Amino acid sequence: MTVTIGIPKGSTPGESRVALVPSIIGKYAALGVELLVEQNAGAAAAFPDELYEGVTFCDSLAGLSQKAQIMLSVQPPNLEEITLLHPGQIVVGYMYPRRNPEYALSMRDHRITTFAMELLPRITRAQSMDALTSQAAVAGYKAVLLAANMIGRFLPMLTTPAGTIRPAKVLIIGAGVAGLQAIATAKRLGAIVEAYDVRKATREQVQSLGARFIGLEVDAESSGGYARELSDEERQQEQAMLADHISQAEIVVTTAAIPGRDAPKLIFREAVERMKPGAVIVDLAASTGGNCELTVPGETIVHRGVQICGPMNIPSMLPVDASELYARNLYNFVVLLVKDGELVIDWEDPIIRDSVLTHNGELHMELSIPSTYEAALKQTLEQGGVK
């Protein structure tokens, strides 16, 4: 039986990306699968329905959910959307199980097989599927453009008959995928760029982009190339060292993250109060609590003349290319699930094994069950059982 892949429009507020872009349709056709697309699925990403040649359109999510064997999404389906899915159906996309544990639990209880893009192992074979990387690159680039728009001055040096404007100072905290892209973008705009990371290996990468590396003596690299949490003593050294650099910067972009943890706090009130009026902080870690103590997730606030921006979904602000990259990541993952046009899942494959979040009524991750979910579950059971 031909595998059918469904592309929902998605209903998450503020999400403009789409899981299938027209340039990938031919690749799916070559794989021997059928594509079902909900009407207007790509409209917010500037991919109107006319561009999706060779797919079948569905006019409702219910119709799509009924027919598709695999659903490709950007954001996880919400509780209402999950009730439209059927046991054994596969959903591939971001799942944010820590942010939305009730969705993960509901998918477990509806016996949906979910593969979470953020759980993919960072191994060489999975690089073409690595949505964390592709979307972090988008976020790093856009963060600098946001800051450049918010700040009331030039980034490059400008020599004019009226005098010379000195270049802006930009500090990037966290030099992973997003941070390196932010450095490259700020350099292209002509700013003087400094960058800090707790992993020593980033020094060379930062310098190769023409930025100045600032760092402590410690090397906090742990398994898988990620950072570990710092000790209290290391944290104090870090804050003392960073405060001076922060106070000198006109733009600070923070990207520091520790997998599975809240973002480390690196910028405190006192450091913000030492910044110049008109300076800008863009906190890319806002969705995991923020690197700045004053960040309000999803908002831009002004504290003593310093603007602090805490965007929750920055890749969605660049939906065309973010979707192009994300759709390719998904396609490369789907290739693993389809053999000769048939759905075949190799549970021995580490990419499959690591990325599965729910399967056969089981949750493959430890999550604390929120009381709201327990209450909703109790109500469902009282009304005649879990669907």
Residue ranges binding ligand NAD (CB under 6 A): 122, 127, 130, 132-133, 136, 173-179, 196-199, 202, 225-227, 230, 255-259, 264, 266
Q: Measured between alpha carbons, how far is 84 from 65 in angstroms, rounded to an integer?
A: 6
Tokens of 61: 């999510």
Contact 78, 96 (CB under 8 A): no
Which residues are paired to 92 by β-bridges?
Answer: 72, 115
Contact 246, 275 (CB under 8 A): yes
> Could you tell me which residues come within 8 angstroms of residue 376 by beta carbon, excluding any fewer than 6 positions away?
79, 102
How would you classify the pairing of strands 251-254 and 169-173?
Answer: parallel
Q: Which is nearer to ligand NAD, 179 or 311 (CB)?
A: 179
Smallest gap, in angstroms, from Cβ of residue 61 to ligand NAD?
32
Smallest gap, in angstroms, from Cβ of residue 31 to ligand NAD?
23
Q: Which is nearer to ligand NAD, 106 or 355 (CB)?
A: 355
Q: Which is nearer to ligand NAD, 266 or 294 (CB)?
A: 266
Smallest gap, in angstroms, from Cβ of residue 120 to ligand NAD?
9
> Could you tell me which residues come within 8 angstroms of residue 184 by beta carbon, excluding any fewer than 6 positions away?
141, 209
Separation in Å, CA 77 to CA 97, 188, 251, 353: 12, 38, 36, 21
Sign of CA dihedral 176, 179, 185, 186: negative
| Alpha helix segments (H runs only) across 202-231 | 202-208
Smallest gap, in angstroms, from Cβ of residue 181 to ligand NAD?
9
Smallest gap, in angstroms, from Cβ of residue 263 to ligand NAD?
8
Smallest gap, in angstroms, from Cβ of residue 40 to ligand NAD?
32
Smallest gap, in angstroms, from Cβ of residue 131 to ligand NAD?
10
Q: Which is nearer to ligand NAD, 261 or 269 (CB)?
A: 261
Closest among 185, 206, 187 to 196, alpha carbons compared? 206
Backbone angles phi and psi of 279, in degrees to 5: -70, 160
Q: Which is nearer to ligand NAD, 49 or 118 (CB)?
A: 118
Q: Which is nearer to ligand NAD, 73 or 287 (CB)?
A: 287
Contact 190, 209 (CB under 8 A): no
Residue nearest to ligand NAD (CB): 176
> Could you tell me which residues come within 8 angstroms of residue 322 by beta carbon, excluding any fewer than 6 positions away?
17, 45, 134, 135, 138, 315, 316
Q: Which is nearer to ligand NAD, 182 or 357 (CB)?
A: 182
Smallest gap, in angstroms, from Cβ of residue 146 to ligand NAD?
18
Q: Which is nearer to ligand NAD, 86 or 125 (CB)?
A: 125
